[in-house]
Amino acid sequence: MARLLAAFLSFAALACGGDPANEHPGTAAYRLAAVGETGLVLHPGETRTVRVVLARDEVGGVAGALVHFEVAGDGGALTSGSHDVATGAGGVASLALTAGARTGSAEVIANAPGFEAPEVSFTVEVVPVRKLLRIVPGPGTLVDEGGRTASVLVSASGSAPLRVREIDADTGAPIAGDAILFSVPAGARSTLGSAGGKSARATTNAAGEAQAFLLAGAVEPGFEAAAFSAAGDEGVYFAVTVLGERTGSCEVECPAGYQCVDGACEPGTVPKDPALPDVTGTWYTKHVFAIRDSLPPALREAFAGIRALDQFLSGRLGLPAWLQSVIDALLEQFLPGWFYAVVRLGDDLGTLLSFLRAEGRMRLSPGADPAHPSGTEVWNSLVFYWLPLCGEEIAGDPAVPPDCARLDVATTDAGDAFASRRCRGEVLPAVSVRAAPFSAAVLAVPGSAPARYQLAVERRQVDVDVANAVVSAIDAALSLATPWQCIAEATDCRGGQECVVDCAGMGRWVDEFTSGVLGAGLIERACAGAVGLAGRTVTEALGSIRFRSNLLVFGGRASIGGVGDDDSTCRSGSSCAGQLGNDGFDGDLRQRPAARDGSWTGAFFADSPGEMPGSWEAKRAHFQ
């Protein structure tokens, strides 16, 4: 095909005036073409760049040639740099245009003096900014048609991200760096963010997205949350329903003297040692595990196909060599900003996946004696953080990961409707997590006076479908940083769909540049095929990643605090413990690991015993 097309172009060039190699400027087959769209919409104060390429048939881009730009029309609408520009190595010349303070329209005309190449014109409209705010689907969120309203389901002990995207109504481009205000009614018991407030402020990232986390502490009547641009444009609304927690039922009838408590048969009468704090009852937990050393080496190269997509496209479009060289010089113009977000995600995988966080619900039941409770736990959510989601503004305590960077991956125990991730419309399986029952001990802290106590756990084991968790975390990051839910969507350019490469735009440009000799459909299909192949390479690489083990095997301890703060939370009804560990557990693991209170140590997804560090905390009430 490539030889046939090249021969056709050579024939066409000869028919129009002889051998291009023997012609001189002014008579040879030269082409001057716009790079990108020729109709631009700018907002007052905005700067955009127009580009043209000068190329010679059968040779390629012409370097060092003079291109003259002329701005006609409303002179006050635009300002620009020098109007005479020399082409670069690829034959490309560019001019930066800045919109003035008032609205209006102008025309920019480019020509190449001394070359018989048709001039190129751009139309430029300067209009006021019009912002559109729309809700983005996410875990627990079902968006209504139009994107201005959505239904949100959240469990009484859970959280749900409220996600919005702001775009330019005229260009469809994402608006980054804009402040978005989220709010819940003053009478609602649910709150926004870890500070427990009724309002939250977030800044849109490069994808135009912002999010706030809705935290529900108890069942309550439905209410409406809202999000607005700080500029005061019309908002979007979330109809929130808080679901009651699922309580386990006992599989067998409890024997005489026992009762069913959260799915387990427990003694109806609990012996109490007055000297010990009572840790029995329900706890809400947070864990952090440092897993960087467990990441498979292949993970670092999983995105190689995306990272090298620009080189991957070169030579795969079936173009004559001279025309391919022109495309190579312009390829950046056909890689939208989303492309670089995907590349950065691939480069940051090691950082994104360095720590595995989990949030769940633990039940400590009376054991053989008051000092030896037994425990069970479910993990509702796996949590990762990716700081680029926060844009340029990251405020707050540097020891605490910011909510704007948070990625939630639902597990099979999440229980929230709409929480399952999707790819190209298909529901994908949630991450399986199975935590084995464990035994614990209430021990005195050696040398403490007055006596202080700690909860010690010799060995715990949690089975995590970690490969699925990794892919789910990548998809969650992708869905926040780009319009797509997974790599397969991001690289599906068929039928003119928006993807990481503007294949449709490339096809139109080649069609126009070759005067229809190479049709738009032919180039678009070739481009879509190459991008799709790169996407399948990444998907297969991620699907083939295997950890040495799916098990977290660990043990540790945490101080017991808050004794007597609320004696309704434990089985004995006296000296109830209120906290295990402390609030600084996450930052301590990363900055002061030797001093952490609420510590885990063990082998995380490794096939041999290890000393990998982790940390944890537990409270009686859901974390705010």
Scan for tokens 């000869």, then name that residue: 14
Domain ranges of the chain: 29-126, 131-243, 258-296+351-471+547-619
Tokens of 428: 């994908």
Average pLDDT across the chain, whole number? 84
Q: State the average pLDDT over residues 146-172.
A: 87
397 or 12, which is more confident: 397
In this structure, are strands 281-290 and 355-365 parallel, antiparallel, or unpaired? antiparallel
CATH number of 131-243: 2.60.40.10
**Sign of the Cα pseudo-torsion (24, 26, 28, 31, in order):** positive
For residue 9, name the pLDDT band (cuts at 50, 70, 90).
Answer: very low
Tokens of 97: 């245009």
Least confident of 257-261, 329-333, 347-351, 441-445: 257-261
29-126 placed in CATH 3.40.190.150? no
For residue 402, name the pLDDT band (cuts at 50, 70, 90).
Answer: confident
Angle at 442 between CA 570 and CA 277, to 5 degrees: 40
Q: What is the pLDDT of residue 617?
A: 97
Q: State the average pLDDT over residues 303-307.
A: 79
Predicted confidence (pLDDT) at residue 29 exceeds the cutoff of 70: yes
Per-residue pLDDT tens for 166-190?
A: 999 888 888 888 999 999 999 998 9
Which residues are CB-contacts of 161 (< 8 A; sequence separation ≥ 6)? 138, 139, 140, 141, 211, 212, 213, 214, 406, 408
Helix axes 520-543, 503-513, angle to 10 degrees: 150
Q: What is the pLDDT of residue 173?
A: 84
> Which of 257, 270, 249, 252 minimizes the C-alpha distance to 364?
270
Q: What is the pLDDT of residue 565?
A: 93
For residue 141, name the pLDDT band (cuts at 50, 70, 90).
Answer: confident
**Helix, strand or coil, per DSSP, at residue 288:** strand
Scan for tokens 């205000």, then name that residue: 181
Q: What is the pLDDT of residue 332?
A: 80
Q: Compute the residue count for the chain.
A: 624
SS (H, E, C) 487-517: HHHHCCCHHHCCCCCCHHHHHHHHHHHCCCC
Fold equal for 29-126 and 131-243: yes
Q: How far is CA 259 from CA 56, 268, 270, 363, 415, in A?
A: 87, 6, 11, 15, 25
Predicted confidence (pLDDT) at residue 194 exceeds the cutoff of 90: no
Highest averaged pLDDT of the listed ranges 24-38, 157-171, 502-516, 544-558: 544-558
Q: What is the pLDDT of residue 22?
A: 40
92 or 414, which is more confident: 92
Residue 75 CB neighbour total at 10 angstroms:
11
582 or 414, which is more confident: 582
Least confident of 320-334, 498-512, 586-600: 320-334
Q: State the average pLDDT over residues 58-86.
A: 85
Q: State the average pLDDT over residues 235-242.
A: 94
**Sign of the Cα pseudo-torsion (356, 357, 363, 369, in order):** positive
Q: pTM (2 decimals)?
A: 0.78
Please give the backbone phi and psi of residue 359, each rounded to the nearest 5 degrees, phi first. -125, 140
Q: What is the pLDDT of residue 329?
A: 79
4 or 262, which is more confident: 262
Q: What is the pLDDT of residue 13?
A: 35
For residue 417, name the pLDDT band (cuts at 50, 70, 90).
Answer: very low
Which amino acid, residue 271? Answer: P
Q: What is the DSSP string of 292-316?
A: GGGS-GGGGGTTHHHHTHHHHHTT-
Q: What is the pLDDT of residue 419?
A: 56
